[in-house]
Amino acid sequence: MTRFLMIALLLSLMTSCSKAQQPSTLAGKKILIVYLTRTKNTFAVAQMIQKNVGGTLLGLELVKPYPENYRQHVAQMVQENRDNYLPPLKTRVDMEKYDIVFVGFPTWDMKIPPPMKSFLKQYDLKGKTIAPFNTNAGYGVGSGFETVKEFCPDSKVLEGYSTTGGIERDGVLFVMKGEKETRTSAEVREWLQKIKVIH
């Protein structure tokens, strides 16, 4: 009986070691985490992702930044959406270096922001794995994740992650602190496991 228990224990340990030594989904993969942020909430989520998967953080900057004034910003962005205008980006990246691209953005006008559309249009993402993430004012991602799929027809687009961030209209800006930060960080890790980016 003792011998049987020892063999069972040994087999259990071998199985555990085997699981621990399984290669990460990210083994040998180069990761880029691109984000657009206004109130820093999307940036905070980007940092949480980086903490779990490593990779390079890249914030999108425009050649001509949006107005600081919230109402002016919204008016300009709504007009850009109506005109299908893609604002030119100041940010540049060597996309050939990366295999997995996390794409983070806030919901604007229930859509993906025009600068992120500029990014998705500007670079060849064919054959790459795209993982979208989003912050919003409580109304959800809108058509954002669907737009990512539309702009990346030759990429593998994974299930996205979305969470509430600031509500600038009401003067609520950065919220990723305290309990909210802890909860979001746990959700981000669960999402990364769900899409099989990490174990």
CB atoms within 10 A of CB 118: 21
pLDDT of residue 7: 42
Residue 96 lies in a domain: yes
Question: Residue 96 and residue 159: Cα distance in Å, rounded?
Answer: 23
pLDDT tier, 124 (very low <50, low <70, confident <90, very high otherwise) = very high
This prediction has a pTM of 0.87
DSSP letter at 158 equals: P
Which among 16, 41, 31 is positioned nearest to 136, based on CA atoms? Answer: 41
The domain that holds 161 is classified in CATH as 3.40.50.360
Is residue 11 in a domain?
A: no
Average pLDDT of the chain, as a whole number = 90
Q: What is the pLDDT of residue 14?
A: 42
> Reduced to 3 DSSP states, what percent helix, strand and coil does the chain have, rounded to the nearest 5?
45, 20, 40
**Residue appearing with tokens 């905070």:** 44
157 occurs within a structural domain: yes
Per the structure, the complete domain to which residue 134 belongs is given by 27-194
The C-alpha angle 183, 165, 34, rounded to 5 degrees, equals: 95
Q: What is the pLDDT of residue 4?
A: 44
Residue 150 lies in a domain: yes
Q: What is the number of domains present in the chain?
A: 1
Question: Does 176 fall in a domain?
Answer: yes
Nearest by Cα to 135 from 120, 113, 117: 113
CA atoms of 13 and 16, how far apart (whole Å): 5
pLDDT above 80 for 3: no
How does residue 52 score in pLDDT terms, banded at 50, 70 and 90? very high
pLDDT score of 109 more than 80: yes
pLDDT (tens digit per residue) in 141-165: 999 999 999 999 999 999 999 999 9
Residue 3 lies in a domain: no
Distance CA 126, CA 154 (A): 5
What residues contact 19, with CB distance under 8 A and at least 6 apart? none
**Residue 1, in any domain of the structure:** no
Does 17 map to a domain? no
CA-CA distance, 140 to 124, in Å (whole number)?
A: 28
